[in-house]
Amino acid sequence: MNIFTFKTEEDFVQTGANLIASLVQSKPNAVLGLATGSSPIGIYTRLAEMNKKGLVSFSQVSAYNLDEYVGISEDHSQSYKTFMKENLFNHIDINLQNTHIPNANAEDLEVECKAYDLALEQNGPVDLQILGIGSNGHIGFNEPDDHLYGGTHVLDLLEETLEANARFFDSLDEVPKQAITMGVGGIMKARQIILLARGAGKAEAVKAALQGPITTQCPASLLQCHPNVIVLLDEKAGSLL
């Protein structure tokens, strides 16, 4: 793993954006694996700026998102579909038809999960997967457990994840209790992974993920088995390493 710790947000953001932009410059039809959440927002904003300046084009890129809440409509203000449009897709020249987010409103979620994996298999592998990390070590919404799933699946979010995500909703009660997520098998198939973490609240998870034992109780620790992971941290997230 290549671990970089940045003193300034500007360096964190620009490095993340440069890594993604240089892949797309060298492979215009790259397949990106995208995350939502606060960690990648600055990087997405910077990519949009680079796109506007003509430094990088996403016109041939396809994108697969990690996850989506179950139980809210896709045009809900906090759906991950809305998040991606507001924070990236509406501001770059990507063809929306080439963007993919699990459809949590599908009639049969099991069929939807299988279809998502099939699409990833046919159009993948993902060239570059962006990941955040939960303070409990989750990646995507693969929560700590005594077993994990390889493929895309529906799961119950843990209390700590509901609490962490309550900041985006009016109350804890409104946070969806379930999500669809790509499984760890799907994530690990990416050619390259960039793991992002900022803030003291992530320091323990980052230490467990990068230096602890490989265990399903810290799903991000599985990344130690991946041959091509870049970790971008701010000083607080990296403070226990």
- Residue number of the CB closest to ligand F6R reads 132
Nearer CB in complex with ligand F6R: 37/183 = 37
x/- track of binding to ligand F6R for residues 69-108 (CB under 6 A): ----------------------------------------
* Positions in 26-55 near ligand F6R (CB under 6 A): 35-39
* Positions in 135-164 near ligand F6R (CB under 6 A): 138-141
The structure tokens listed for 180 are 């669809």
* Positions in 118-137 near ligand F6R (CB under 6 A): 132-134
Select from 23, 30, 67, 152 the one that contacts ligand F6R (CB under 6 A): 67
Tell me the number of residues near ligand F6R by CB under 6 A: 14
SS (H, E, C) the chain: CEEEEECCHHHHHHHHHHHHHHHHHHCCCCEEEECCCCCCHHHHHHHHHHHHCCCCCCCCCEEEECEEEECCCCCCCCCHHHHHHHHCHHHCCCCHHHEECCCCCCCCHHHHHHHHHHHHHHHCCCCEEEECCCCCCCECCECCCCCCCCCCEEEECCHHHHHHHHHHCCCHHHCCCEEEECCHHHHHCCCEEEEEECCHHHHHHHHHHHHCCCECCEHHHHHHHCCCEEEEEECCCCCCC
Nearer CB in complex with ligand F6R: 16/37 = 37
Our answer to whether residue 91 is catalytic in this structure is: no
Our answer to whether residue 138 is catalytic in this structure is: yes
Shortest CB 35 distance to ligand F6R, Å: 4
Our answer to whether residue 87 is catalytic in this structure is: no
Question: Residues 68, 138, 142, 165: which is the catalytic one?
Answer: 138
Neighbours of 105 (CB within 10 A): 15
Question: Residues 51, 65, 87, 136: which is the catalytic one?
Answer: 136
Question: Residues 127, 143, 153, 234: which is the catalytic one?
Answer: 143
- Catalytic machinery residues: 67, 136, 138, 143
Residues that bind ligand F6R (CB under 6 A): 35-39, 66-67, 132-134, 138-141
